[in-house]
Amino acid sequence: MSRTSTVHRSVRSALVCAGAGVAVVLSAGAAAADGSSPSPVPSATRSAAPSAVPTLPPVGPDGTRQGSALPVGPDGRRVGTTPRGGAQTGEADAGTSPTAVVLGSVVALAGAAGIGTAVVRRRRAGAQA
């Protein structure tokens, strides 16, 4: 096996490894960026029986819709279900930064290529010695 082919093979394998690593990082980033789950509550913790089914408020005798589908006490107060926990009233607008991901990937690729080149040079130097 010639020295040149050994060098080429080493460089090629280094680049392949670097490329694969960057691809894994990028695919993880894409998955994270696409994740638009509306609620952080894990599905495993969800109640089997929903406590309320969304319904339209009923129409009262005066023709106006009443404020709630739940029973109303004598003083006009509702006797209803209380929501659990806080409200998901916002989400990150910018989310992830594609520019930083691409730039970082290029830099990481260059770093991996540099390592590969250094390894090849070291082997070459060892073979010459």
Partner 1 sequence: MPAASAGALVLALGLGTVAYGLTPTGEPVRIAYTGPDAAAPTHSPPTAGAALPGSAPDVQRTASPPVRLLIPRIGVDAPVGPVGLNGDGTVEVPPLDRPDRVGWYRDGAAPGLPGPAVLLGHYRTRKGAAVFLQLPKLRPGDTVQVRREDGRTVSYRVRAIRQFPKSAFPTDLVYGDTPDAQLRLVTCGGTIGHDGHYSDNIVVLADLADGP
Q: Which 86-125 residues touch partner 1, going by CB under 8 A?
A: 86-119, 121-122
**72 three-class SS:** strand
Q: Which one, of 7, 8, 4, 17, lies nearest residue 111 by Cα? A: 17
Q: Tell me how far apart the alpha carbons of residues 91 and 35 are, in angstroms, rounded to a whole number.
A: 12
Residue 13 Cβ vs partner 1, minimum distance, rounded to whole Å: 15
Cβ-based nearer residue to partner 1, 7 or 109: 109
Residue pair 14/113 in contact (Cβ under 8 Å)? The answer is yes
Residues 17-76 binding partner 1 (CB under 8 A) are 18, 25-26, 28-29, 32-33, 35-41, 45-47, 50-57, 60, 62, 64-70, 72, 74-76
Residue 3 Cβ vs partner 1, minimum distance, rounded to whole Å: 19
Residue 28 Cβ vs partner 1, minimum distance, rounded to whole Å: 7
Q: Tell me how far apart the alpha carbons of residues 124 and 105 are, in angstroms, rounded to a whole number.
A: 28
